[in-house]
Chain A
Amino acid sequence: MPGETMESAAGATGAVRGRHEVLLAGEGGQGMVLAGVVLAEGAVLQGLRAVQSQWVLGSAARGSLARSEVVLSDGEIAFPRVRAAGVLLALTQTALDRSLPLLAPEATVILDEDGVRELAGLGPDHRVRRLPIVRTASRLGFRRSMNMYALGVLVSETGVLDHASVERAIRKKFGAKAPPNLEAFRAGSGGGPD
């Protein structure tokens, strides 16, 4: 089995039971791929299993699509990609539009209210949250760690993982550069921007 030699997930805590699929999408340069990596690593640190893949269309330039696909589970993860995401974080219109076919009917959809204007593609059962993520991160001085701010929003809106696990993952990933990223994550997860 993939990951069968991993530590048992029996001690896992949190909201994850069975397979959970999360999409984090934006344009190149917004750091959504890395945000997915941190989310997945946080899950592993929490005793869950996780697979992260990325989907990058075009070069990392404006108008492109960069998307992390994260699968979390307290059991075996076979298929590594997303089929019916329960959570989508989308920062741009392209990010939303290209992710619609991969959404579960009752998915939680967190949208940047400046980046995404057209919501016609969303279904009646989607739980939609529109927040000024990029603007607020920028106002609070997290322009360079906006992705961690956005990840904070995602974690607090969905409760998918423990905050502490994600913070551990941020420390591992960023090493000496962790402090501003931790700050951004905490700002984002503190109930989200008003």
Chain B
Amino acid sequence: MSPVVFMQGNEAVVEGALAAGARFYAGYPITPSSEIAELASRRLPAVGGVYLQMEDEIASIGAVIGASLAGAKAFTATSGPGFSLMQENIGLAVMLEVPCVVVNVMRSGPSTGLATKPAQADVMQARWGTHGDHPAVALAPWSVQECFSLTVAAFNAAERLRTPVFLLSDEIIGRMREGVTLPEPGSLELVERPAPTGPAAEYRPYRPGPDGVPPLAAFGGPYVFHATSSMHDEMGVSANDAATAASVISRLVAKSRFALDFLPGPEVVRSAETGRGCRPGEPVLLVAFGSSARSARQVMLDHPDHPMTLFRPRCLWPFPEKELSALLADHGAVVVAEMNTGQLLLEVERVAAGRVPVAAALRSDGEIITPEQIWETVREVARRPRPAAQALGWKEGGR
């Protein structure tokens, strides 16, 4: 077994990217993601890769898209303000069907906000940030180990789907240090983008393959191709007709659903494995991701006699609604904990659809959500009378 190494979350992202085969980074420094740029600038040239520091985040994602078209596994890292600047070109990557990974180490906003403090308030921006209908894939690590493994998963998903994939880390996860086990070189399962086969003259860069994803050549190779941000046909040539637009949009959007087949599923941790007091309909289901899930898990450790289950989506988008839905019947109430004013909560309420009460422990003052705040909400929701079949809505938990 590989030894445990001690490193920072942001460092583990770079190690994961390199292990996944990334050889190109373009970015603009921004707290609290800058360690990723710094380590990338040190590591990439040593493995024949390229680190570019661009003039802004718009250029950064642009250069990442260019390098990916030239065959590189490419990534960038940023935080809220930079993620906002990248949104137009994230749409470009969706439309050109260019694989890339965008790491967002979330910080408190809006605007400059509390620039050095954590938040988880870019959940909806990750889903709907760029204009137009589009798929969205976003993974959220809760440990330094997952900063590594989910970065690898993000590259694999991006390459397989030919679409941008987000890693939604946050200031707490990105900057804390803990032990990780790095896999032996060569032991990781890596996915490469689907490559064209057959004569160059017959290459159609936007003809869907069997799973809906077209093969992607690289500039400079045997296949000459054209890619455009405008609506286009299978040759990558602009096409304005409604039928082409309808089929392109539906194929792009379907990538989200396809992604569910292979993205890391949610982790479910039950505290009531001892069987103590675990009657169906009784336990509280905690739903949290990233650093908030660490706090939610702590509530279970602090209160072992109170049956609770943690549902922790590792993949936020597409949201694992089937798995969540299946758990609802066994739980008396749901408590969503997140460091924003209620973003994942909307998704959970949609899935719960009034079947169980959904309460929320929310925090958006730049401080980590505490186990005590979540526990307060758990106790409060446990006191509520069970509704016949209606949601009770949510209430901000005590601080």
Interface residues of chain A, those whose CB is within 8 Å of chain B, are 1-7, 37, 40-41, 44-45, 49-54, 56, 76-81, 83, 169
Tell me if B243 counts as interface (CB < 8 A to partner A).
Answer: no
- A118–B306 Cα distance when bound, in Å, is 42
Q: Which of B142, B177, B179, B297 contacts A6 (CB 8 A)?
A: B179
A1 in contact with B179 (CB, 8 Å): no
Q: CB within 8 Å of A: which of B145-164? A: 145
Tell me if B176 counts as interface (CB < 8 A to partner A).
Answer: yes
- A5–B179 Cα distance when bound, in Å, is 10
Q: Mark B104-145, 1 if CB is under 8 A from A, else 0.
A: 000000000000100000000000000000000000001111
Q: Which of A5, A45, A52 contacts B181 (CB 8 A)?
A: A5
Q: CB within 8 Å of A: which of B1-29? A: 1, 3-4, 6
- A96–B269 Cα distance when bound, in Å, is 38
Task: Say whether, besides A37-B177, A53-B176, A79-B295, A2 and B145 are in contact (CB < 8 Å).
Answer: yes
A2 in contact with B177 (CB, 8 Å): no
Which residues on the A side are within 8 Å of B142 (C-beta)? 2
A-B contact pairs, 9 of them (CB 8 A): A2-B294, A3-B143, A6-B4, A6-B179, A7-B4, A44-B178, A51-B177, A79-B294, A169-B6
Distance between B145 CB and nearest chain A CB, rounded to angstroms: 6
A80 in contact with B175 (CB, 8 Å): no
| B contact residues, total (Cβ < 8 Å) | 28
Q: CB within 8 Å of A: which of B285-306? A: 291, 294-295, 297-298, 300-301
- A177–B215 Cα distance when bound, in Å, is 50
The 10 closest A-B pairs by CB, nearest first: A79-B298, A78-B297, A2-B143, A78-B298, A41-B6, A44-B179, A52-B177, A53-B176, A51-B178, A44-B6
- A160–B201 Cα distance when bound, in Å, is 69
A79 in contact with B176 (CB, 8 Å): no
Chain A residue with Cβ nearest B367? A81
- A175–B184 Cα distance when bound, in Å, is 23
Distance between A71 CB and nearest chain B CB, rounded to angstroms: 9
B176 in contact with A80 (CB, 8 Å): yes
A50 in contact with B175 (CB, 8 Å): no
Which residues on the A side are within 8 Å of B181 (C-beta)? 5-7
A52 in contact with B176 (CB, 8 Å): yes
A76 in contact with B294 (CB, 8 Å): no
Which residues on the A side are within 8 Å of B177 (C-beta)? 37, 40-41, 51-53
Which residues on the A side are within 8 Å of B368 (C-beta)? 81
- A56–B175 Cα distance when bound, in Å, is 12
Tell me if B214 counts as interface (CB < 8 A to partner A).
Answer: no
A1 in contact with B269 (CB, 8 Å): yes
Which residues on the B side are within 8 Å of A2 (C-beta)? 142-143, 145, 178, 294, 297
Tell me if B172 counts as interface (CB < 8 A to partner A).
Answer: yes
Q: Mark B72-88, 1 if CB is under 8 A from A, else 0.
A: 00000000000000000
Which residues on the A side are within 8 Å of B179 (C-beta)? 3, 6, 44, 49-50
- Extra A-B contacts (9), CB below 8 Å, given A52-B178, A79-B294: A2-B294, A4-B145, A5-B145, A6-B181, A40-B178, A44-B6, A51-B178, A76-B301, A80-B178
User: A7, A41, A78: which has the most chain B beta carbons within 10 Å?
Assistant: A78
Which residues on the A side are within 8 Å of B180 (C-beta)? 3, 6
Tell me if B341 counts as interface (CB < 8 A to partner A).
Answer: no
Which residues on the B side are within 8 Å of A5 (C-beta)? 145, 181
A44 in contact with B301 (CB, 8 Å): no
Which residues on the A side are within 8 Å of B294 (C-beta)? 2, 78-80
User: A45, A49, A51, A83: which has the most chain B beta carbons within 10 Å?
Assistant: A51
